[in-house]
Amino acid sequence: MKELRTITRNLFLCLFSACGLCGFAQIDKLNRATQLLQARTPDLAVPVIDSVVLHPETKNDFVSWTTRGYIYYEIYKKTDKFRLNSSLRDTIISSIKKSNSLKPDEVSLANNKRLLSGLANQYYNIAKVLLQDSLNDTRSAKAYNKCKELSLIAKPDTNFAMRDVEYYVAVGSVFSNIFNNDNKNTKAHDIAKLAHLKVFDIDPDNAPANMNMGLMYLNQGINLVKSLDYGADLSQIDAIQENIVKLAKQSEQFILKVYKKDNKNPKAVQALYYIYRMLNDAAKQAEYQKKAKDLNIKLD
């Protein structure tokens, strides 16, 4: 409420400063649209502002376009806030872009940035919801890219490193869990791996990403062991052992990074015990078994 009042007051200021540039009839209309926005009746303001931005006298007025963005935003936030595709949002963005292209003054520019930043944050929320609730990585990625696109328009020097790490760790976690529960789901494996590789580009020692990658390889190895039939032929066992060793070694390199950062991390200690068990390394297996015991970590 307070925010809307501040924004509409700013819009009014811009509106009166623009009086000399436009015809009074259109200024009256713009004034009317702003009043309707302030009165929280954006539906009534829409036809008014749409006619203002189409009129030759005001179509190149940045205040009209910014006002249009805010009017549509009032409707959007009630109905479309959590929709990935929203024509209302598209209208807001195109209005703000148009306003930005008309060299707005500082006040309008700040209003434009605020609106775009808000939309960017909503896209981020959509990205997370799509990921965690719908497990839809494609739509989630689309929302995340939109978030970045709008953030860059609002603030061209935005550094996405931290947010990229946060987002891609989330993607990696969701899909590595899916893969760990169903090792036949290679799509989940590939999505998780790709997401983690993006994290490693920015932060190679990222603990959650290293843990997720390590556990994916470890679980594949454990499942291979479990899949071995008691009656499997010795030559067949040898080939399977080869794969188990490869997977355990791949897992080891990731889990050790986590362990080096935090040698009391229960998951890392537990994973290393199983890794060395798979690698038939009795000494290290005993070492991590002891650590697990000291830390009250249950094994097997």
Partner 1 sequence: MKAIFLYNFTRYFEWPENKKTGNFVVYIVGKNDNLITELKNLASKKKVAAQDIEVKNTSAFDPAISSQIIYLLSDVSSAIKDAVAKNKNKGTLVVAENSGSCKLGSSISFLIIESKLKFEYSKNNAVKAGLKTNDDFKALAINVD
- Pick from 245, 256, 287, 292: which binds partner 1 (CB under 8 A)? 245
Asked if 225 touches partner 1 (CB under 8 A), the answer is yes
Return d(Cα 236, Cα 247) in angstroms, integer. 17
Closest CA to 91 of 68, 123, 74: 68
Closer residue to partner 1 (CB): 64 or 289:
289
Site residues for partner 1, 36-65, by CB under 8 A, read none
Size of the site for partner 1 (CB under 8 A): 20
Site residues for partner 1, 271-300, by CB under 8 A, read 279-282, 300
Closest approach of partner 1 to the CB of residue 239, in Å: 10
Q: Give the number of other Cβ atoms within 10 Å of residue 1's Cβ.
A: 6
Closest approach of partner 1 to the CB of residue 294, in Å: 19
Alpha-carbon Rg for the chain in angstroms: 28
Whether the CB-CB separation of 216 and 193 falls below 8 Å is answered with yes
Contacts of 3 (CB under 8 A, 6+ apart): none
SS3 263: coil
Closer residue to partner 1 (CB): 27 or 224:
224
Q: Which stretch binds partner 1 (CB under 8 A): 59-67, 183-191, 195-203, 229-237?
A: 229-237
Instruction: Annotate 195-234 with b (16+ C-beta within 10 A) or e (fewer).
Output: bbebbbeebeebbbbbbbbbbbbbbbbbebeeeeeeeeee
Closer residue to partner 1 (CB): 166 or 281:
281
Closest approach of partner 1 to the CB of residue 256, in Å: 16
Residue 289, token pair as written in the block: 């078994």
Q: Which stretch binds partner 1 (CB under 8 A): 76-84, 95-103, 174-182, 240-248?
A: 240-248
Closer residue to partner 1 (CB): 199 or 271:
271
Closest approach of partner 1 to the CB of residue 232, in Å: 6
Please provide residue 65's backbone torsions phi and psi, each rounded to the nearest 5 degrees.
Answer: -70, -40
- Pick from 159, 230, 296, 298: which binds partner 1 (CB under 8 A)? 230
Return d(Cα 34, Cα 16) in angstroms, integer. 12
Binding interface with partner 1 (CB under 8 A):
225, 228, 230-235, 237-238, 241-242, 245, 248-249, 279-282, 300
